[in-house]
Structure 1
């Protein structure tokens, strides 16, 4: 009965760590889309060039996206801020995303254009071999 309630996709919500993390100070808003052939991530990275952004895949299918040294808007000394929502004063961001198991980690592609980082993670359509292995039981050890 527990498998029915905690089965996929709800198991991840209750029993696993969050699917993605956003660190404090992050200004990188993100969209995660899924097509029949891939997962597509679109991350807002205004002021960051490709040299300032690092995309890596770590242990357990964790996609790491980090930006450092982006351009900071400058203003005159006597400028008064009334609203600051765009995060233009921050110089970095970091995101971690737990990827599904059925992806091709060696074929991930990333591109930055017009302040948007697009990461395409192709799906693996070949069924994975089960990690469950039957153990033969004997009457004596």
Structure 2
């Protein structure tokens, strides 16, 4: 069996070269390389339902879409922002653009109906209430759920 060679570092400790690589990349890039900017979501089990809370700060209600298809609930949010500041001559002093887009899917069961799901958006938090009860009908068509 082949083993990687070991080197000594400045503190006379033996280090694996793979650990050395990890330490070097952490120092250069930071140690959060594997964390992606995603929609932070909590799923809370309550007595009769599940509550899904998704953080979507900076979005308007019209930017958020919720779809249900084949037992999968999909949340999508898209927002474009353009701030143009011009001086008195009409030339740009500053022009900033920002675009945010999130997309998450959750398996909720084949028999879920959109009329049994409640969704509300307030103060940057999307709250979706999903019932625990078994529902009768299976539907593979994409069905929109209104955000209140």
TM-score (structure 1 length as normaliser): 0.53
- Between the aligned partners of 1:73 and 1:29, the Cα distance in structure 2 is 26
Task: Specify the alignment match of 1:68 in structure 2.
Answer: 78
Task: Specify the alignment match of 1:114 in structure 2.
Answer: 123
Structure with the bigger percentage of strand: 2
- Between the aligned partners of 2:132 and 2:112, the Cα distance in structure 1 is 4
Whether the aligned pair in 2 keeps the contact of 1:49 and 1:70 (CA below 8 Å) is: no
Q: Where in structure 2 are there 5+ consecutive unaligned residues? A: 1-34, 85-92, 137-148
Match of 2:49 among 32, 38, 41: 38
- Between the aligned partners of 1:39 and 1:73, the Cα distance in structure 2 is 39
- Report the 3-state secondary structure (helix = DSSP H, G, I; strand = E; otherwise coil) of the residue aligned with 1:69: strand
- Runs of 4+ in structure 1 off by over 3 angstroms are 70-74, 100-105
What number of residue pairs does the alignment pair up?
A: 91
Whether the aligned pair in 1 keeps the contact of 2:42 and 2:52 (CA below 8 Å) is: yes
Q: Structure 1 residue 47 and structure 2 residue 58: aligned?
A: yes
Task: Specify the alignment match of 2:100 in structure 1.
Answer: 91
- Between the aligned partners of 1:38 and 1:73, the Cα distance in structure 2 is 42
TM-aligned CA deviation for residue 27 of structure 1: 2.7
Q: Where in structure 1 are there 5+ consecutive unaligned residues? A: 1-23, 78-88, 129-141
TM-score (structure 2 length as normaliser): 0.51
TM-aligned CA deviation for residue 36 of structure 1: 1.4
**What CA RMSD, in Å, does the superposition of the two structures yield over aligned residues?**
3.1
Q: Deviations over 1:53-99 (max 9, x none)?
A: 0011111x10000001155899x97xxxxxxxxxxx65110000011
